[in-house]
Amino acid sequence: MGDRLEIGSEIESHATYLGHWVELLKETPKVLFQVLSEARQAADLICPEAQAQGEP
């Protein structure tokens, strides 16, 4: 989605971001399913044409 919207990111923050998720998932593994569902909903709102075309 970031590439499609041409939104950059700072590579330096990726390790910290992923580290946070590792800790969160260790504490509450089921949170992954909730987050993935919400991310899909957000992506569908931002780019509804992707859903219509069957893009992942």
- Identify whether 33 is part of a domain: yes
Structural domain boundaries, residue 18: 11-52
Query: What is the domain count for the chain?
Result: 1
pLDDT the model gives residue 7: 78
Burial of 42 by CB count in 10 Å (0-12 exposed, 13-18 middle, 19+ buried)? exposed
d(CA 50, CA 56): 8
Going 6 to 12 to 13 to 15, the CA torsion angle's sign is positive
- Identify whether 4 is part of a domain: no
Is pTM beyond 0.75? Reply is no
- Identify whether 45 is part of a domain: yes
pLDDT tens per residue across span 1-56: 667 777 777 777 788 889 999 999 999 999 999 999 999 999 889 888 766 666 55
- Identify whether 5 is part of a domain: no
pLDDT the model gives residue 5: 75
Show Cβ contacts of residue 24 under 8 Å, excluding neighbours closer than 6 positions: 31
